[in-house]
Amino acid sequence: MTHPQNQPNHKKLRILIIDDEESIFEVIEGLLLREGYDLTYVSSGKEALNQIEEIQPDVILLDLMMPEMDGLETCQQI
C-alpha cells in the first residue's frame, strides 16, 4: 500500500506541534518528517495563536500541560 503522502500531486499535510518541551518535538519530528509531513513547532499557546492564521495547519498536536496558557485554554481559543 502506498502512503498517501507519497502519491503524486498529493498535498503535504501541515502539522502544528504546540509543546513547551523541545525534546518532544524532536521525537515527533523523527517519526513524522520522514513520512513526508510538513511540521511546524511552537513552544507556547500564545505563540500558536499569534501564528495559526499564517501556518494554517491541517492537524494540531497540542500539549495539555504548559505554563501560562495550558493546552485546554489554547484549544478553546483556536
In the chain, what are the domain boundaries? Answer: 4-77
The pLDDT confidence band at residue 11, using thresholds 50, 70 and 90, is: confident
DSSP helix/strand/coil, 10: coil
Burial class (CB in 10 A: 0-12, 13-18, 19+), 67: exposed
Q: Is domain 4-77 annotated with CATH 3.40.50.2300?
A: yes
pLDDT at position 76: 95
Give the pTM.
Answer: 0.82
